[in-house]
Structures are given as structure tokens and as C-alpha cells.
Amino acid sequence: MSFATLTDGSSALRLMAITMALAIATLIAGCSSLPPLEGRSESSALPLEAARNTELGQALAPVEAAHPGMAGIYPLPDAAQAFATRVLLAEAAEQTLDIQYYIWRDDITGTLLLKALWQAAERGVRVRLLLDDNNTSGLDPLLAELDAHPNIQVRLFNPFVYRGSRIWGYITDFSRLNRRMHNKSFTADNNATVVGGRNVGDAYFGATDGVLFSDLDVIAVGDVVRRVSDDFDLFWASQSSYPAGRIIPEAEPYRDNAGSVPPSLKSALDKALSDPSAEAYIHALKTSPFIRQLTRGELDVTWARTRMVSDDPSKGLGQAKGDALLASKLTTIIGHPTTTLDLVSPYFVPTDSGVKALSDLAAKGVRIRVLTNSLSATDVAAVHAGYAKHRKALLEAGIQLYELKDTITHTGTEDPVGTFGHSASSLHAKTFAADGERVFVGSFNFDPRSMLLNTELGFVVDSPDLAREIASGFDRKVPLQAYEVRLSDEGDLYWVARQTDGTETRFDTEPDSSFWRRTAVSIISIFPIDSLL
């Protein structure tokens, strides 16, 4: 084929489009270098002595002294309570708030939390807010206003220099921008912290008619809080964390009256408060006894040996290896289960090596149960494709698979998913229990992205009580709220939905999913993209 033929008609237009796209990408790459980090301010978590002198620290001192070397752990499966806990911690803070998240939405709950941070800063609390930049599109005016407050510092992890369409950043800097900070922590005065799976937004706190995520956080007090603060300091000072003012435009000046908030935050607040759904969350704040119970030692926490596990922030640049990776630390702490392993993961992509490891455990007599999302419940179909192709091998090894339904029905106020989070349409909790003794709660998904690309954070808690709660969920609630995946005598997959009266309904294709969605997943599963999932 001659060059003249290639450039005829539509082929010529395609060639021109490709050439222009490459030229634009090259131009953007040349104009999108990151700013230097020299001169970046230095700061660290509130020193222990100062933390103990706060009201929260003084209230917690007696109970912490009574449980040396342990952490007080209180699960937060209820979405509204998880939201209220964060706001109330912000209101209780006297000195510092250190906050780290992968996603922060400017919706009802996200805006109310930003208001709480602003009000804390107005009281003189130093607020450090570290956000992964992958999901901040549209938030620049809000973040600039927060960062302009003398008591608030905002930093962005692995930021996009080009603030328009993020696709250009991926085209020009994929190897860096493909690595994200998935950590979630909310720490007040270095005395109490919330760690777990929830991001900040209505979908995670049950305040939307759309997809709702079933999730799990814990609040922790005790020495493990200091470990979280130390870890936050590492990320805050890492080579991937850029002061927001060096990345986004400065905020417009505004008239600062007493008690006022800047215009972008005010606009977001007006919009949030005009939504009828906001009333439920304001009511939750007014009626929650959480802080009072915590400071009086009345909160029914579980005291247990607890270890924080996290990735080194250098993973964000692809420089962390071996012992610096959370996956390696988990293996060291957990060891190898000998009797039971109950695993909850919304994005479960075991890969061939993971299937072999789980199969080897099952062959040694370990009972393994996995709860993940069904195709109808998942919010990332490509991840489901990475899981689906391994189902048959897992079932053949004797591993039980459950897939959460996209609609959960229940009566009264009982939470059907129990320890794994509030009733919702999509699983987002990340937890597991091993041998009925140890529990993990955090941000870590059992997929290659968490293993190799994203930074993660979580707790390993030596608590038979918490492990029993997870086992109880699998025994009593999961079979009613999830499809069990089984293998027929002919080696074909089928799904079973169990009713409260003991009857079962069989599905020979993935339930509540369209032909086109199933076809798309089948096609995606052919491609070798597990390492990106």
C-alpha cells in the first residue's frame, strides 16, 4: 500500500487526528513538570506530652493506663455513625487534626465535614489535609480556600499538573499517576483516630439514592494512634506530597467577617443544606453520644493488641520494595492460617499466584470463605472480570464464594451485613479474620493494585471477639444477603439465593445482570490486565 493510498479519505483524517493528539500530548508533557519541593514547610504530629494535656487526652489517660500496650477498638459499621464520629472528633480537637483520604466529595457529607475542619481551624486547631489528587477534579476552588486559612495546610499526593481533563496527565506521566494513595485516616489531637475503608462522600455515609457502599471503619485509641500519626508524618513529608498552593490557583480574596466562610465553601454548604437528606446527618450529630461516651470511658471498646500496617510512601514513586510493602508486613504478622480464613473484599482479584496460595491453604484443611461483590453490585466491572476468571479454580479447591446482592432487604433496624458495614447496594469493606483470633481492617483490597501500585493502611487486631463477629456474619447473614457461587456436576458455575424460610433459588447466569454486561466482562477477562486492577 502506497503512502498516497494511506492518506486518502478517512484514513487521512485518522492520521491527522493521531498526529495532532501526539503533538498536543508532547506539548503538555513539555509544559507540565511538577514544581520543586524546596522550601516546603515542615511539621509533625502533636507531641505526646501535648496530646495528653488536651481534654481528650486527659479523659483517655486512665483507661489507656489500665490497658498498657493495647488499643481500644470500636467498629463503625453504621454509615451515619461513621460520619458523625468524624465530625464530632473534629469538634473535640483542641490542637491538631491530621486527615488523609483517597476520595473527598463536595456533596452533603463531604461539605459538612469541610465545614467542621474550617470551624476547627477558626478555633485555632492546626489542620493538615492530605488528599490523593486522582479524585479532586472540580475541587480546586474549595481546596484553595481551605489552604488559604492560616491554620489549614492542604497537600496533594501524586498531583496532576494539568488541572483540566486528567487523561492528559495519564498520557504524559502514566507510570507516576497510576500509583495512588489509598490510605484513609482521621486523627484528632494524636489521641483518637478513625481508620478503615470509607472515603468521604455521600455514597460512603448512606446519604444518596444512588450506589451506597457497605463499609467498615474502626475508631482507635491508645498507643496505635501514635503509630498512625507517625505514618501520616511520613506521607506528609514524602516526595509525592505537594503543597496545594504550588499546584492549584490561589483563592480569590474575600471579606473575612467573624464566623464567615469563603464563597466556594459557602456555596457548597448552601447547596448541601438545601437537600432534605442533610437533615438526617445534622440530627445524627446532635443526638450522637459518641464523644461523651468516649471521654467518660463508657464506650464499649475492645481492648486488644493492635498493630498498624502500611506501605512506605515511596511506593507512590515505585521505589518501595520488600519489607516496606504492606502486603509483606501482613504476611509477617498474620503468618499462615491453620483453621479458618474469612475474607471480605469488594475488589477481589486473586491472580494465579493468589489462587494457588489459597488453594494450598484449603488443601491443608483451612476453611476459606470469601465475600465480594456480584456483577450487579460492583461499581468496577473490569475488576469483576479479573475475579470472575478465577472462580472455578477457587471453587474446585473447596473455597466458598459469596457475592453480595445489589439490593439488600431487611426489616426493622437490624443491619443485615453486620460487621461488614451498613446495608447498601455495593460492598466496600475490606476486612478478614484468621483462625478466629486475628482481624484486619483497613483500606487494603485483595488485588494487584493494592499489592503493587497503591499505598494502603490498616490495623491487625488480635481479638477473638471481633473475629467471632466476622464469622457470625458469614454464618447467619451473608447467606441471606449474597449469592453463593457453586459448581455443578458438569463443572459449570451457578448461583444460589437463599431465603429466610430455607428455600433456594438457582441462577445459571450471573443474577440481575444484563447480557451485554456479562459479555463485556467475558471479553475483558481475556486480556492480561490483572496487574492494573
Q: Which helix (H) or strand (E) holds 74?
A: strand 71-76
How many angstroms separate the CA atoms of 347 and 387, rounded? 8
How many angstroms separate the CA atoms of 97 and 94, rounded? 9
Dihedral of CA 118/154/138/177: which sign? negative
How many angstroms separate the CA atoms of 109 and 111, rounded? 5
For residue 510, count other CB atoms closer than 10 A to its CB: 21
For residue 122, count other CB atoms closer than 10 A to its CB: 15
Contacts of 42 (CB under 8 A, 6+ apart): 237
Dihedral of CA 413/414/419/421: which sign? negative
Contacts of 278 (CB under 8 A, 6+ apart): 108, 112, 207, 272
How many angstroms separate the CA atoms of 435 and 439, rounded? 9
In the three-class reduction of DSSP (H, G, I as helix; E, B as strand; rest coil), residue 175 is classed as: helix
Q: Which has the closest alpha carbon to 433: 292, 337, 311?
A: 337
Burial 355-371 (b: 16+ CB within 10 A, else e): beebbebbeeebbbbbb
Instruction: Answer yes or no: are the C-beta atoms of 463 and 372 closer than 8 Å.
Output: no
Q: Which has the closest alpha carbon to 198: 115, 101, 105?
A: 101
User: What's the burial of 253, exposed, middle or buried (CB within 10 Å: 0-12/13-18/19+)?
Assistant: exposed
Residues designated as active site? 182, 184, 189, 428, 430, 435
Residue identified by cell 495519564 is 170
Instruction: Answer yes or no: are the C-beta atoms of 432 and 439 closer than 8 Å.
Output: yes
Assigned C-alpha cell, 524: 475483558
Contacts of 262 (CB under 8 A, 6+ apart): 145, 148, 251, 254
